[in-house]
Each structure stands twice: as C-alpha cells, then as structure tokens.
Copies of this chain bind each other. A is one copy, B any other.
Amino acid sequence: MQSELDFTVPSLGERRIPSPIALSTTQGDRIANYVSDMEFIRYGNEAREGPQNPLERRDLLEKAGPRERIYFGPSHVHAGIVTCGGLCPGLNDVIRAITRCLWQRYGVRRITGIRYGYKGFLPEYDIPVRPLDPDQVDDIHKMGGTMLGSSRGGGERTTDIVDAIERLNMNMLFTIGGDGTQKGALAIAEEIERRNLKVAVVGVPKTIDNDLLFVDRSFGFETAVARAAEAVTGAHAEAHSSMNGIGLVKLMGRDSGFIAVHTVLAAHEANFVLIPEVPFDLEGPKGLLARLEERLERRKHAVVVVAEGAGQEHLATVAGTDASGNRKLGDIGVFLRDRIQEHFAARGKEINLKYIDPSYLIRSASASPTDSVYCERLGNNAAHAAMAGKTKCLIGMVNGEFVHIPIAVAVRSRRRVDPEGSLWRDAVDATQQPLSMRNEG
C-alpha cells in the first residue's frame, strides 16, 4: 500500500542558522541530542520472513525533533496558531506547548493566536488576533475547549487567508484541526508558494475519532474514551435499575468506531456495540431487535453503544455536507431510540429506555494526564519542525516515535476499525454480542 505514498517532507530551504537550543551532537554522552534528517521510522509492522525489497525514502517517515541548524532566525519569526473544527480534549495543551517551545527554547517573541478558526483570518469577521506568551498559556491546559476559539469552515478562502498572513507578516502557521482543516492548510501552503513567500505551515492533526492514517492514536482520544466509559456506566445503572431497562448511548465516530469499541472494552458493561465498519440488520432473526429481545428475556436489562456513523443504511438519506465539509449524517441515536420503542410497543412489552448522548460533555473535557503528555510532545515537535523550515506536514506519533507526515499523504483517507482484526474481536468478546447481526452472509 505504501508504494504509492511519498513520505518526503517539503522544506522551505537550506538551514543555516545554528539552533539556540543547546543539545549534544555526541552519541553516548548521556545528554539529549539533536535529530538529523537522516533518522527515519519505518511505517508498517506486519512482516514476513525472507528477502526484503530495498527500503526507499518513500517507505520511511522522517523523525521529528530539534535540528542542529534551523531555517528561521528566531528574532524574525512571527508565528500564528489557529484551532479549527469541533472541540477535542487537549487543544489548549497543544497551543501551550507550541507557544512555550517557541518562546522559551527558541527565543521567539512574536506569537499570535488567530481567533475562532480560519474565520479569524477573514476580513468580514474583523476579529482581533490575540498575542500569546508563556504567561497567557500557563494554566490553559486545565481547561477544556480552546482558548483561541474555533469554528468550522473558512479554510477554502485561501486567497483571503494568505492575504491576511501577508498583512500580519507571519512566516509560520500552526494549524490544529481535522481533515478539512489540514486540506485547507495544504491549499494555503500552495498559495503561499505561488506567491513565493517563505511561510512554514505545520499541522497538528485533531480527530477525537482516532481515525488518522499512519498515526498510533490521535490526541484527546483517551480522554474521550474515559469520559464515554463513565456515560456507559451511567447507562448501565439506569438499565439495571429498571424492569426491561435499556440504556442507549450514542458516541462520536462518524466514519469509524474506535471510540465506541474502546469504550465498551473500558466500561465492561455494554451488551451491544454498533459501528460504521460493521453493518447490521434491525429486523429478522439475527437482527439487532431480535438479539435485544433475547437479551432482555434473559437478563432483564441491556446496554447498547452506537457510534454516530453506524447504521446509516437504515436512515433516510440526508443530503449535503456541514461547514467542515463532512457528509451530513442522519441521527442514528434518535432513530434507534424510536425504533426500539416501537418494536417493543408493537409486542406489548413494557421497556424502559434511557437515551444518552454525552458528546458535548466528552469533547469539552480537559485532557487526561496521558493525553496532556502527548499534546505537549506534539506541540514541541511542531515548533521544532517549523523552526527547521519544514512545511506542508503534520506531526504524528508512529510506532511510539514522533515523525513528520506530509499533509498530502495523511489526508488521502481515514483509518477504520478492521472488522476482521483483533480490536473488533475483543469488543465482540467484551459485549458477548453475536459476531454478525446480519440475516444473510
């Protein structure tokens, strides 16, 4: 699969300036080292015995980290930071880390927060920017959301945005956001090139759904799972305490079921998990409704976890896309709630369904300690990348190491739960639901 990929990271030019960060250039002196452009991480771990093809540059991800020589003179840097799209735990941690690394390690003194996503660049909104320094960001990681504000869309306004970048005299832009945001960042970087500007565009990919290709996990995901597991515990208490109690929890996951699957593994209390990757029937002897009925017969209560993108085939088509360019989804949670109630009402069976949609409470949480560590390291590496003149790239962790990933490669598609893999298998074990809830096949 990687054969079509090109992991080469674009660069603004030659690095002539010695880094102000004093690190070691000697191996073995027990002092932290610079990272060179010749250090790589191999993507892909599945392997077989026998002769191997020669590794090419395109198989290798460039290691992130501070370079011995950098592209920008710190006193000439004006860095911008923008957060886009929906909330995700850890946004403030990333802002904090970029700001602190630039300021304290490199001595950069002009760092500017763009307010409310890409819209903060657009003339018609006329939103003042917000200067950032270590004092401004010192405690922001304790709060959820983003201190800079966010919004959806706007990234398609490439010309206006680059006009604003020129007007602000920025030479570094950090884009923290999802797929749409990073596609926008790529277009911005291309417009920048067309104008022969030297502006580094470095992204920190944000997807609470954990569906980023290549990357081990996305920031905020673990916090989201911890919060979601609490909601499932609540749903279980509700279901367990009622006659024929059903707790139905809708979780995030437009295209992938990672949050739902990890949550049922963490909560130990769900009996069904429904994800976009695994289609299911509602009706028929093997369908969800029959399975649910069996469960109620046997145990008098049930907990169902459904990812928002699951079962879209059962919903009337909803046309169009939202401001972030995401396909609009029908509301599977409300649909299932109604459908389950109809089903049992038609059978004269009294049930007690509690429907819980904790999405806002999950995404607005502040980062868990593990996520906080991860965000800090992502932000540091983003700062290092931009100072070194890397551009059109994202920072990610691959096989435990931080790397640069070209935006062009990263946004090509999304990661999904493999319905034939071990994660889904363990989720099925945890819920004890049938391997398949389809009547055929």
Rounded to whole Å, the gap between the CB of A361 and the closest CB of chain B is 5
Q: Which of B52, B142, B436 is close to A53, meaning CB atoms less than 8 Å apart?
A: B52
Instruction: Assess whether B41 is in contact with A48, with CB atoms less than 8 Å apart.
Output: no
Q: Which of B144, B399, B435 is close to A23, meaning CB atoms less than 8 Å apart?
A: B435
Rounded to whole Å, the gap between the CB of A96 and the closest CB of chain B is 8
In the complex, chain B residues whose CB is within 8 Å of the CB of A236: 145
The digit string for A234-245, where 1 denotes a CB below 8 A from any CB of B, is 111110111100
Considering only CB atoms and an 8 Å cut-off, how many residues of chain A contact the other chain?
Answer: 115
Instruction: Assess whether A377 is in contact with B422, with CB atoms less than 8 Å apart.
Output: yes
Instruction: Assess whether B370 is in contact with A226, with CB atoms less than 8 Å apart.
Output: yes
Which of A196-204, A262-270, A289-297 is the interface stretch?
A: A262-270
In the complex, chain B residues whose CB is within 8 Å of the CB of A233: 144, 364
Rounded to whole Å, the gap between the CB of A299 and the closest CB of chain B is 12
Report the Cα distance A236→B361, complex, angstroms: 10
Which of A55-63, A311-319, A330-338, A341-349 is the interface stretch?
A: A55-63
- For window 355-401 of A, CB contacts with B under 8 Å fall at 356, 358, 360-361, 364-366, 368-370, 372-373, 376-377, 380-381, 398-401
Rounded to whole Å, the gap between the CB of A425 and the closest CB of chain B is 4
- Interface status of A15 (Cβ within 8 A of chain B): no
In the complex, chain B residues whose CB is within 8 Å of the CB of A56: 49
Instruction: Assess whether A241 is in contact with B105, with CB atoms less than 8 Å apart.
Output: no
In the complex, chain B residues whose CB is within 8 Å of the CB of A401: 45, 422
Instruction: Assess whether A243 is in contact with B422, with CB atoms less than 8 Å apart.
Output: no
Rounded to whole Å, the gap between the CB of A138 and the closest CB of chain B is 8
Given A229-B369, A425-B32, check contact A235 B24 (CB 8 Å). Answer: no
Instruction: Assess whether A360 is in contact with B369, with CB atoms less than 8 Å apart.
Output: no
Instruction: Assess whether B426 is in contact with A143, with CB atoms less than 8 Å apart.
Output: no
In the complex, chain B residues whose CB is within 8 Å of the CB of A151: 242-243
Query: Assembly of this chain: how many copies?
Result: 4
Instruction: Assess whether A66 is in contact with B370, with CB atoms less than 8 Å apart.
Output: no
Rounded to whole Å, the gap between the CB of A209 and the closest CB of chain B is 16
Q: Which of B278, B361, B425 is close to A358, meaning CB atoms less than 8 Å apart?
A: B361
Closest 5 CB pairs of A and B: A145-B237, A144-B237, A145-B241, A266-B369, A234-B364
In the complex, chain B residues whose CB is within 8 Å of the CB of A436: 30-31
- Interface status of A429 (Cβ within 8 A of chain B): yes
Instruction: Assess whether B87 is in contact with A365, with CB atoms less than 8 Å apart.
Output: no
Q: Which of B149, B216, B265, B278 is close to A372, meaning CB atoms less than 8 Å apart?
A: B265
- Interface status of A3 (Cβ within 8 A of chain B): no
Q: Which of B30, B369, B420 is close to A225, meaning CB atoms less than 8 Å apart?
A: B369
Which B residue sits closest to A52, measured CB to CB?
B52
Report the Cα distance A436→B358, complex, angstroms: 33
- Interface status of A419 (Cβ within 8 A of chain B): yes
Instruction: Assess whether A399 is in contact with B402, with CB atoms less than 8 Å apart.
Output: no
In the complex, chain B residues whose CB is within 8 Å of the CB of A35: 422
Instruction: Assess whether B376 is in contact with A30, with CB atoms less than 8 Å apart.
Output: no
Report the Cα distance A268→B100, complex, angstroms: 12
Report the Cα distance A261→B366, complex, angstroms: 21
- Interface status of A46 (Cβ within 8 A of chain B): yes
- For window 156-208 of A, CB contacts with B under 8 Å fall at none
Report the Cα distance A424→B23, complex, angstroms: 12
In the complex, chain B residues whose CB is within 8 Å of the CB of A320: none
Instruction: Assess whether A377 is in contact with B49, with CB atoms less than 8 Å apart.
Output: no
Q: Which of B47, B55, B419 is close to A31, meaning CB atoms less than 8 Å apart?
A: B419
Report the Cα distance A235→B241, complex, angstroms: 28
Instruction: Assess whether B42 is in contact with A265, with CB atoms less than 8 Å apart.
Output: no
Which B residue sits closest to A150, measured CB to CB?
B241
In the complex, chain B residues whose CB is within 8 Å of the CB of A59: 47
